[in-house]
Amino acid sequence: MVGGVLFLFTAITVGLAYVDFDKIFGGHGWNMKIGLLVATFKVCLVGAIFMHLKEERSTIWRVLYFTFFFVLGLFLLTLFAWVDPIFGTSHWHH
C-alpha cells in the first residue's frame, strides 16, 4: 500500500512539473515550493514506514529532533545575518 502511495505521489510530482503555478498564484518560485512540499511528504512517508521509525526506540527520534532543531537554528542564524548585516564587512575579493 505504501509503495502505491509513493508511486502515486511520484506521478503527481511529474504531473505538477507541467503546471505553471507562478501564473496561478502570482509571484515567483511557486513550482519549487509545491514540488518541495510533495517531496517532503514522500520523505516523511519513507522515514516513518519503510525505515520502521514508528516502532524504533526513542533514541532515534531524539537524534532526528536534534537534527531538526540544529538545521532550524542554522537557517535562523542565516536569516538574522541577512536581515541585519554587519556593515563595513565584505566578502567580495577584487
CA dihedral 82, 83, 86, 90 (to 10 degrees): 40
Residue 12, CA distances (Å) to 26, 32, 41, 72, 84 in order = 21, 14, 12, 28, 40
Cα dihedral across residues 25, 77, 43, 57: positive or negative:
negative
**Has this prediction a pTM greater than 0.75?**
no
Please count the residues of the chain: 94
Boundaries of every domain in the chain = 1-51, 58-84
Instruction: From first to last of the 94 residues of the chain, give the pLDDT tens digit.
Output: 777 888 898 898 889 888 888 888 887 888 888 888 988 888 888 877 776 666 667 777 788 899 999 999 999 999 998 888 777 776 665 5
